[in-house]
A and B are shown apart, each in its own frame.
Chain A
Amino acid sequence: MPGIDECLLEAMRLPGARGATVVDWTSGLALGTVGDSPNGDHEATAAEAAELARTAAENLAFAPAEGSDWSGGETPVEDLIVSNRDSYHVLRFVRTTFDSSVFLHLWLGRTDGNLALARIRLGEIAERLVLG
C-alpha cells in the first residue's frame, strides 16, 4: 500500500518529471517532496502553487455548471495545468474521505514530458494515495 513518498516517486517515473510535491492549499504546506523545484525551494514553490490552487478551488467560475458541494471529498476542480516555454505544471486535487485541501503538484520538462499521459497518471496516483 503506497504512502506519500511512494506516490511521489511513482509520479517521478513519468517521462520528463522534474519534481513532485503533495501540498495543502489552505496553509501552503508541502506535506511531501521529491526531486527538484523550479526555484530550488520546495516550500516556497508549494506556497505559490497553493495560492493558484486555492483560487481555482474557491471561485465558482471554475466549478462545474451544477456546482460542487464538496460532498464525499469531491473537489470543484479536478486539475490545473500551467505551461510555459520549457515546462509543464500539473496540479491534481486529491479527494479524501476526511476533511482536507490537498493536491499533487507535478513539474515536468516540456521536451520529454507528455502532458496527456501525466494528467491521466497523476489522477490515478491521487486516487491510490488515499484509497491504497
Chain B
Amino acid sequence: MTAVRTPPPNRLPARKPAAGATGRSGAQAAVSPMLSRLAAERATGVLMRERGTLFLSDGQVVHAESPASPGLDVLLTAGGALRPEGWWEAVTQAGPGQRVGRFLIDSGRVPRGALELCHLGALYDAAFFTLGPTSAPGRFRYGVAHWLGPIHPVPVDAVERETLRRRELLHRIWPEPATDTQPLIRTGRPVDVDVPRRRRTVLDHVDGARTASDISAVIGRPAFHTLVDLRRLAAAGIVTTSARQEPEPEPEPEPEPGAATAAAWPREAPGDPDIALLRRLRDALEAL
C-alpha cells in the first residue's frame, strides 16, 4: 500500500486580527524580545520605542511615558490632587537628585498610597502605548534614570502581560481600532440616558477634532480608560471617527503568498455608507 501524502489544506482566507489584537490562540508572545532580554540582565536605563519610553531600574519597570497618554503631572493636577505650583516646586527641588516622587510624599504634597496608585496607573497606561505593535526598532540607553525616581517598581513580565491583556480587552469590546487614534465625532444617534457618567464625560469632549489622547489630557484620565469608553461608544453607534478622516481603516495586511484572495473585501469606496455598515457587521461578527 502506498502512503499518499496530501498537502495540508489551504487555510481559509481570514483577515488577520486587527493590529493590537492578540487573537484567540492565547499565545503570550513577548511584546518586545529586547525588553525581555533587558529584564533578564537586570538592566538600568531607558528603552525608547516609536510610541514612548520605558525606564528600567535593575530590570524592573520604574516609569513609562508616551505622547499618547497623559503624564503623572496632568493626572495629579487635573483632579486637584496637587496644585501645578506644588508639582513644579517638587520638580525644581528634587528633580536634580532624581527623587521627585519621594519629595512629593515626604513634603506631604501627595499621600504615598495616592501617588502609588496614580503613578502605577500612568505607568501601565504609557507602557500600553509604548509596547504597541511597531516596525521601528527600539533603542536602549544604559544608565539613564528618570528624575521622578522609583515609586513602585513593577516586573517587566507583569507589564508585558497586562499590555497584551489590554489589547485583547479592547478587541473584545469593539474590534475596530480607528477610535483609538483618529479625530472623533458623534454620529448623531440619540444617546440613552443611561450612558454611565464617566463614559458621558468622554462623550461630552467628542467635538470632531479631538482624538482619544486629546480627550484624556483634557479630563486628566489615563488614555487607556478613554479608549475603553470610546470603543464602547463606537460599539453602541454613538461615536465614530471624524468624516474627513474616513476612509482610513487599519491597513489591510499584505496578502500572504499562496493564500487565496485576501482582498475579498473591497478597498473602501470613500464615503460609501453600505461599505461602512458591512465593515461594522463583519467586525462585530468576527468579535463574537
Interface residues of A, Cβ cutoff 8 Å to B: 1-4, 7, 22, 24, 26-29, 31, 43, 47, 57-60, 68-70, 73, 76, 94, 96-102, 128-132
Contacts and interface: CB of A to CB of B under 8 A. Distances in A.
Contacts of A131: 111, 114
A39 B116 CA distance: 27
A130 B117 contact: yes
B165 A130 contact: no
Given A29-B162, A101-B225, A70 B197 contact: yes
Task: Report the 6 A-B pairs with minimum CB-CB distance, sorted nearest first.
Answer: A132-B111, A58-B196, A97-B81, A129-B113, A98-B79, A99-B221
A26 B228 contact: yes
A60 to B, nearest CB: 6
Given A96-B81, A99-B79, A27 B124 contact: yes
B247 interface: no
A70 B221 CA distance: 13
B79 A3 contact: no
Given A27-B225, A98-B75, A4 B152 contact: yes
B198 A70 contact: yes
Interface residues of B, number: 35
B228 A27 contact: yes
Interface string B214-248: 00000111101100100000000000000000000
A4 B117 contact: yes
Question: Chain B contact residues: over half helix, strand or loop, or mixed?
Answer: helix
A98 B116 contact: no
22 contacts: A22-B117, A26-B224, A28-B165, A31-B116, A43-B161, A58-B198, A59-B194, A60-B194, A94-B117, A96-B117, A96-B118, A97-B114, A99-B220, A99-B221, A99-B222, A128-B113, A129-B114, A130-B113, A130-B117, A131-B111, A131-B114, A132-B113
A43 B240 CA distance: 32
Given A24-B121, A99-B221, A3 B152 contact: yes
Interface of B: 75-76, 78-81, 105, 111-114, 116-118, 120-121, 124, 152, 161-162, 165-166, 169, 194, 196-199, 219-222, 224-225, 228
B161 A1 contact: no
A24 B221 CA distance: 13
A24 B160 CA distance: 17
B112 A96 contact: no
Contacts of A94: 117
Contacts of B81: 96-98
A10 B116 CA distance: 17
Nearest to A54: B196
Contacts of B219: 99
Contacts of A69: 197
B228 A1 contact: no
Contact of B76 (A2, A24, A98): A98
Contacts of A24: 121
A43 B121 CA distance: 15
